[in-house]
Chain A
Amino acid sequence: SQTIHQWPATLVQPVGSPLSLECTVEGTSNPNLYWYRQAAGRGLQLLFYSVGIGQISSEVPQNLSASRPQDRQFILSSKKLLLSDSGFYLCAWRFRQGPGNTIYFGEGSWLTVV
């Protein structure tokens, strides 16, 4: 069976500091990978998605970036955090074939920028 893990679960970072959130998927290969963000009381915002190693598509221009150094590893980064980067970050994966496939989410990472 497939599993998805992301970490850290919670972090508090000062404004201007760097960020690295990591996500890995086990039990499958060539998944589509996603990073979403959810601000307090808001819906889910798609930030990045990837259909393969080194292939990243950005949905929202901002000071965040994503990388996929390995097939089942997805990393969300920032060089300098802003207060507005606070939120609940979710990594997700999906089988590549077909729009009928389910998307599976990780446990989420709470980021508070102070």
Chain B
Amino acid sequence: KQEVTQIPAALSVPEGENLVLNCSFTDSAIYNLQWFRQDPGKGLTSLLLIQSSQREQTSGRLNASLDKSSGRSTLYIAASQPGDSATYLCAVSNSNYQLIWGAGTKLIIKP
């Protein structure tokens, strides 16, 4: 059974720092992995989607990597800003529609 873990559960860093969020999964037979952002009281916003054949995806200051063999993905945020404060969730797909979700990392960027 696929399990997705995100560590740490919460992270607080000063503005301007580069940071890495971690996501690990137990079954390497995945279709893809997605990173989402959720602001308080809001829905989830897709940030990056990495297909199983890909190693990384980049969007602006965000870079997500995928290492299926080790069951790990990282989300790298460069030059963090207070507006990056949110909960970040990763989800893996190992069927054609089921997503297995991590519990999220709550990120606070201090001005």
Q: Do A and B bind each other?
A: no
Give B residues with C-beta under 8 Å from A. none
Give A residues with C-beta under 8 Å from B. none
